[in-house]
Amino acid sequence: MVALIAYIADTMTYVGIFGLLTISLNLEAGYTRLMNFGKVAFFAVGAYVSALLTVSGAPFLAGLVGGMLVAGLLGLLIAIPTLKLREDYLAITTIAAAEIIRLILLNENSYGLGPMGIRGIPKPLSGLFGPSGYPLVYMALVWACLIVWLLISQRIISSPFGRVLRAIREDEVATESLGKDVFLFKTKSLVLGSCMAGAAGSLFAHYTSFVSPDMFMPLLTFSVWTMLIVGGTANNYGAILGAFLIQMFERSTRILKDLVDMPSGAQVNLRWIVIGLLMVIFLMYKPHGVLGERKGKVTPR
Amino acid sequence: MPLNVLQIIINSALTGSVYALVSIGLTLVYRILKFANFSHAEMVASGAYIGLALNHIAGQSLFISMAGGFAFAGVLGVGSELLVFRPLRRRGAERISLMVASIGLGLVIRHSIQQVWGSRFLWYDLDTEVYVLKLGGAHATLTSIHIVMLVSAVLLVSLVHLFLTRTRLGKAMRATSDSPVLASACGIDVDRVLIWVWFLGAGLAGIGGVLRGADTRLVPQIGWETLLSSFAVVILGGIGNFYGTILAAYILGFAENLGVVALQSLSISTGYRPAIAFIVLIVVLLVRPRGIMGSERD
């Protein structure tokens, strides 16, 4: 029973972390049409900054905020050369940036970086609760963070700022001609999304208490993309639903391995083949996902 | 360590040859269908692995591997157009959706390869001879595989040039790449031309994969490893610009090989090699986003 509760808490912790990542991608891709193919970079930066800060003695909250800020800064750095150009240049640049970030984490030997990763990342509040109750506590912490960001995100989207983002998504030139600084709005969207991904990374690092470069492969980005596509683009509840569904699917392939005799690696390959197929099939037959964008009310004048 | 200029030039030509073969298809599809096709990486990988299978069955001759890699990757490219990209376009998918779908398709192909051949390093079974080239006081080594790489790149690029300028189909491809709408208005069957563009582009990428695989080693990520550099080449050369792409391939090949030497002399890990293409990409985007020779539209 205790094991089952711990398993459910672990699952929901991951759903929360990936839900946050998917909401952040939704702000960028779903609402602003920013094709961020390097989500994992911002996630990794959040995780590593938070890990490095807390390992050297800073409190968890400082790690979380630090991870968010540095991830946001990375978003700003990528925004400058790419956001004035066509949307696919952002995709190529972010995918490249994610690889470079991973190379840095892998090849730098100072500051505790390198292939061995960082161990012993403190678990916040673990002193106050016993080991049996801790998974539930951490799950609550992750979901609290998710709900805070969800509220912020919903607020942003329904604000005039969010309307401009959606206008950019629909027609960039028309938005520009209405006097909006499209570049500035896109930059803000990317930086904000990057901060959210940084927060998710920090939550991830303090949960696993260990990070290493091979946890941040490009595949992780496409897992998040699949969550968004399946759950529903431009709908934050859809994004969280997608994170839940894909996380369930990934776990079921792990369970499948225990039930069916499979050669090692087969369940990983099978999982990614299905994820790739899901992306293509949803884009073809249900491009707005399970929950699509809800059309806003038009208030007559 | 003295700077071995001759060796750097030879290595640059080798790297550039693979990039040239891989980038032709990427740039043509990018130009005509206006989306960055990330599944192109897997054309490289599938060519490399089919070439490996043929090498292990038929033995020694790299040409059989190249022909097989070309045919298989070409058919795979046509298949991806007919099964994924054309149906998506018919349903009115935007080009960014095509781009995302190309990622999904890439995952399917790459993990299918990994399922069949595993994720460990694999090598072609070839007898390689090592030659030492002496020019003045400089020494450089190259293998028989390297000679095949250089010769086939020059030959294939020349053939594609002749094809694009001398044949009806090649001219139709250029017309389609200039403007699919106008080409269609001139009576060109754009859908049919596109099939050949996919076949040719993916097939050449498959040959690039065979050559890279024969020269180094095979891993399922072999295509993914070249993808970032290929995008840097495509953007540097100007999207859709065939000659620009060839020139850019060798420029990037040179930049990477020079960069590796620079990394070594600064005692920085050569693990940063992929970062060189990234830096080139960022500089091009900042300074000259249309590429060195320009892309005529868009």
One-character DSSP codes across A104-117: HHHH--GGG-STT-
Question: Side chain identity at B167, as an amino acid letter?
Answer: T
Domain-located, residue A252: no
Query: Token pair 């070409």 is at which residue?
Result: B74
Chain centroid, CA A90 distance in Å = 17
Q: What are phi and psi of B238, to 5 degrees?
A: 90, 120
CA distance A134 to chain B (A): 36
Using the Cβ of B116 and the Cβ atoms of chain A, whether some distance falls under 8 Å is answered with no
Mean pLDDT for the stretch of residues B38-66: 93
> Structure tokens of A160?
């005039």
Average pLDDT score, chain A: 90
Q: Do B271 and A107 touch (CB under 8 A)?
A: yes
| Tokens standing for residue B30 | 């990018």
- Give the pLDDT of residue B85: 96
Q: What are phi and psi of B218, to 5 degrees?
A: -105, 135
- Show Cβ contacts of residue B18 under 8 Å, excluding neighbours closer than 6 positions: B149, B153, B208, B211, B212, B215, B226
Cβ contacts (< 8 Å) between B27 and chain A: which residues?
Answer: none
**How confident is the model over A132-148, as a mean pLDDT?**
91
Average pLDDT score, chain B: 92
Going by pLDDT thresholds of 50, 70 and 90, the confidence category of residue A263 is confident
Question: What's the DSSP call for residue B138?
Answer: E
- Helix B5-33 to helix B40-58 angle (10° resolution) is 120
Q: What pTM value is reported for the model?
A: 0.92
The residue in chain B having the minimum alpha-carbon distance to the alpha carbon of residue A95 is: B228
Residue A195 in this model has a pLDDT that exceeds 70: yes
- pLDDT tens digit sequence for A267-282: 889 999 999 999 999 9
Residue A133 has pLDDT above 90, yes or no: no
> Do A279 and B103 count as a contact with CB atoms less than 8 A apart?
yes
B2 pLDDT more than 70: no
Q: Do A284 and B91 touch (CB under 8 A)?
A: yes
What SS3 class is residue A212? coil
Q: What tens digit of pLDDT does each residue of A86-118 get?
A: 888 899 999 988 989 999 998 887 777 888 889
Q: Does B289 touch chain A (CB under 8 A)?
A: yes
- Residue A118 phi, psi (nearest 5): -115, 130
pLDDT score, position B209: 97
**What Å distances lie between residue A105 and A110, A113, A221, A225, CA to CA?**
10, 6, 17, 23
A164 inside domain: yes
Give the residue numbers in A contacting B (CB under 8 Å), as ranges: 33, 35, 37, 81-82, 85-89, 91-93, 95-97, 99-100, 103, 106-107, 218-219, 222, 225-226, 229, 265-266, 268-270, 272-273, 275-280, 283-284, 287
Quick check: is A227 in a domain? no
In chain B the first and final C-alpha atoms are separated, in Å, by 46
For residue B23, pLDDT beyond 80: yes
Interchain pair A91, B228: CB under 8 A: no
Q: Domain range for residue A202? A: 2-217
Cβ-Cβ contacts under 8 Å, B91 against chain A:
284, 287
pLDDT, mean of residues B1-16: 87
| pLDDT band at A254; cut points 50, 70, 90 | confident
Are B277 and A96 inside 8 Å of each other by CB? Answer: yes
Contact A99 B106 (CB under 8 A): no
Size of interface A-B (CB pairs under 8 A): 121
Closest chain B C-alpha to A34 CA, distance in angstroms: 10
**Best of B99, B100, B239 to mutate (most A CBs within 10 Å, chain A):** B100
pLDDT at A296: 62
For CA atoms A24, A190, A113, A250, give the dihedral sign.
Answer: positive
The helix/strand/coil state of B130 is strand
Closest residue to A103, CB basis, from B38, B100, B275:
B275
Q: Is the dihedral of CA B166, B170, B176, B182 positive or negative?
A: positive
* Complex prediction ipTM: 0.91
Encode pLDDT of B238-262 as tens digits: 998 999 999 999 999 999 999 999 9
For B166-202, what is each residue's pLDDT tens digit?
Answer: 999 999 999 998 888 999 999 999 999 999 999 999 9
Per CB-CB distance under 8 Å, the chain A contacts of B92 are none
The pLDDT value recorded for residue B298 is 44
- Residue B131: beta bridge partners? B142
Residues of A within 8 A of B99 (CB-CB) are: 35, 88, 91
Interface test with A, best of B103, B219, B221, B276 (most A CBs within 10 A): B103
What does the pLDDT read at residue A146? 96
Cβ-Cβ contacts under 8 Å, A268 against chain B: 111
Which residues does chain B have within 8 Å of residue A114's beta carbon, measured at their own beta carbons?
none
Q: Is residue A40 part of a domain?
A: yes
Q: What are residue B122's DSSP bridge partners?
A: B218
Nearest to A22 by CA among A274, A223, A213, A253: A223
Contact yes or no for A269 and B271 at CB 8 A: no
Q: Which region, left, alpha or beta, applies to residue A84 given φ > 0 means left and ψ of -120 to 50 means alpha?
A: alpha
Query: How far does A291 lie from chain B, in Å, by closest CA?
Result: 17
pLDDT (0 to 100) of residue B134: 85
Give the number of domains in chain A. 1
The two structure tokens encoding residue B293: 């020779």
Cα distance between residue A289 and residue A271, in whole Å: 19
Does residue A198 form part of some domain? yes
Residues 6+ apart with CB under 8 A from A124: A60, A141, A206
Cα–Cα distance for residue pair B164/B162, rounded to 1 Å: 5
Residue pair B177/B240 in contact (Cβ under 8 Å)? The answer is yes
CB atoms inside a 10 Å sphere around CB B143: 16
CB-CB under 8 Å, A275 with B101: no
pLDDT in tens, A210-222: 999 999 999 999 9
Give pLDDT, residue B49: 97
CB burial of B179-192 (b: ≥16 within 10 Å; e: otherwise) equals ebeebeeeebebee
The two most distant CA atoms of chain B are separated, in Å, by 63
Contact A280 B95 (CB under 8 A): no
CA–CA dist B209, B42 (Å, integer): 9
Model confidence at B46: pLDDT above 60? yes
Q: Do B286 and A81 touch (CB under 8 A)?
A: yes
Count of alpha carbons within 13 Å of A246, Cβ hemisphere only? Answer: 37
Q: Write phi, then psi, for A211 (nearest 5 degrees).
A: -130, 145
Q: How far apart are CA B70 and CA A268, in angstroms?
A: 29
Chain B residues inside the 8 Å CB shell of A225:
100, 103
